[in-house]
């Protein structure tokens, strides 16, 4: 069931959301102050692609 849910999520917009998180994460990592938030954006990008398998910590 997890695989089916992940495939549906990718088809319905998971790729678009993940790309947005990656772009914002890269922009946040430009400054030293924004690096922690940029790293969290990268984790959230993976979580938006495969929501049934990931836990954000």
- The alpha carbon dihedral of 36, 26, 19, 46 has a sign of negative
Task: Answer for the pair 41, 25: CB distance below 8 angstroms, yes or no.
Answer: yes
Overall size of the chain counted in residues: 57
pLDDT at position 5: 77
What is the tens place of the pLDDT at every residue in 39-53? 999 998 888 887 776
Residue in this structure with the two tokens 């992940």, named with its chain if needed: 6
User: 35-49 and 15-28 helices cross at what angle (nearest 10)?
Assistant: 170
- Mean per-residue pLDDT, 2-17: 83
Res 46: pLDDT: 84
Q: Label residue 56 by pLDDT band (50, 70, 90).
A: low
Domain layout of the chain by residue ranges: 2-49
* Amino acid 51: pLDDT: 74
């Amino acid at each position: 069931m997890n695989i089916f849910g992940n495939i549906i999520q990718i088809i319905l917009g998971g790729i678009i959301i993940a790309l947005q998180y990656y772009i914002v994460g890269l922009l946040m990592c430009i400054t030293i102050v924004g690096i922690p938030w940029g790293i969290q954006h990268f984790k959230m990008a993976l979580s938006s692609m495969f929501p049934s398998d990931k836990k954000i910590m």
